[in-house]
Structure 1
Amino acid sequence: MIWLTWRQFRIQALVAAVALFAVAAYLLYLGVQIRHDYAADVVNCVPSDCATTRRLFSDRYEAPVALLGALLIAVPGFIGVFWGAPLVARELEAHTDRLVWNQSVTRRRWLAVKLAVLGAAAVAVTGVYSLLLTWNASRYDQWAGGRFGAMNFASRDVTPLGYALFAFTLGVVVGLLVRRTVASMAIVAGAFVVLQIVVPNVVRVHLMPPITTDVAFTADVMEHANGFGFNDTSARIIGYTMPGAWSMDPVSQIYNADGTPYNAKQARPCVTGDRAQDQDCMAKQHLHFQYTYQPGRRYWPFQWIELSAYTALSALLAAFGLWRVRRRVTLR
């Protein structure tokens, strides 16, 4: 059965290997470039030019790293659609199940071998890509932060392995139930997209309670924020992310040292148009703001929790598929 499974799967495996080789070559090239520029622009920058060179470093690699991350997120979806969904549905649609499932190999064993071999291949392909991307983007992530971001979290380290296993198993079970290849592929694609939207925005945020703390308003803090705004009654820091953390506050109110709201009248003397000078002026006013976040040390617990959840769901789906395949599912 393992040999037969490989024979039937060899074309998909070849396509996956070629695509992975091409992506891996680019990831290695880009990773070397990122490391070189990180050392030059972030670690060893000229003090007077650090703010500018670091910002340029972030802008230079934001697009390619994001594109590679989006591609990795899509890989498990492609596996579920093109590997999982047709696996059983194609047999039922072409009526070849009448021959395949009337041999000495039982239906359950046939499906179990398919799930094991192709599931392992799905995890291996995704794992190699994830490993290379995690290495490639590690210096960029170290400076830019955002490891908990929806795209970054889903395309780094071990979580993508759970996505791949789940998407493949879901595809097989949907194909077993729907019994039509194209319809099964469409359902799996839709379900995977919905999960990638719902889990980061609704589920993941509740895995552990966030922490709230006071952060001093300094020039270094502003390097990790998108900016600040103020009016007659208040001032706000916008888009601050503590390095390595997951920010829960896109906008935070700025306060004086005595706890009163900082406002436009107090900020106006510091607004000269020179970014560095303005930040230094405001830092001397001993300002602070409250910040709610998930600390960086929780990154790996979040990764393992999500991997475990998707692995458990995959096991349940596989068990259901093995139970279901024993019943009569031949098209009439």
Structure 2
Amino acid sequence: MFSFRGCGGRVAASFTKRQFPLPRLSNDSAAPRTPHFDVIVIGGGHAGTEAATAAARCGSQTLLLTHRVDTIDFDGGQMSCNPSFGGIGKGHLMREVDALDGLCSRICDQSGVHYKVLNRCKGPAVWGLRAQIDRKLYKQNMQKEILSTPLLTVQEGAVEDLILTEPEPEHTGKCRVSGVVLVLTLMDGSTVYSESVILTTGTFLRGMIVIGLEMHPAGRLGDQPSIGLAQTLEKLGFVVGRLKTGTPPRIAKESINFSILNKQTPDNPSLPFSFMNETVWIKPEDQLPCYLTHTNPRVDEIVLKNLHLNSHVKETIRGPRSMAPLVMRKLQLK
């Protein structure tokens, strides 16, 4: 659908900013009833913000629907799980997004507090850029970018249903989705029209939070999951599942003895993620250090004795990383 314009896309957009009005920011209670958008993106996380801005850069009138504008991007601006970017796999992915004029690398270069290239002792093929991020600063910079993007409207609202027109005869298969789509928002029952809908629901699509032995529906701690949309997708013939994410534990800083840990300083000079930048926003001497530690047999013993108190740990086959060893074992058995 999109014809990405590469690194020149952002430059072209800057030339035409004055031709387009700034996007409207609204909520369900007082939303302007716009009858039609070229593209509607559901979800304001990493994928949603990239998809919405990419569509807008291509000249499409775009609507980004998110539960809460104050958390827009994010697992990224909100950064629920881990305040870092990059690594071996994700670092390569960020460079690819940046080559398509995406946002995350540029915003990362404006918001980090520690930049380092991993695996320098090995060959360049396995080097991986990594940055520790200031969560508030990233959120602030991403929202500023999103809300100033021409042709992009951001609206708060939970999507309850997708109402589709009759599919075209040439579209065959179990999921015959085509034609004009009506997006029904949950809060006031209003409808928004579009010919293209992009779902980037992340953890919200019939999401569950697991704390110890307790489980309750939620998209993120404090946010409601998207139930109606999941039911709609199942009616359309899609298979809806759930993979665990695994939120890392938080440790009180004052409880750590940093003197016995392996101190890691940032790179000097620090390499930026984006090809558009020559440097990051903060000097190496002003960045924060990281510290490396290891577990020991005593930690293993504590974890093994308390597995029965944590349903999340026992669900090892529901995560993408933990599925790999299981698949390999099955292949070996064959």
| Fold shared, TM-score > 0.5 on shorter chain | no
TM class, shorter-length: under 0.3
Normalised by the length of structure 2, the TM-score is: 0.23
Higher strand share: 2
Larger radius of gyration: 1
Normalised by the length of structure 1, the TM-score is: 0.24
Higher helix share: 1
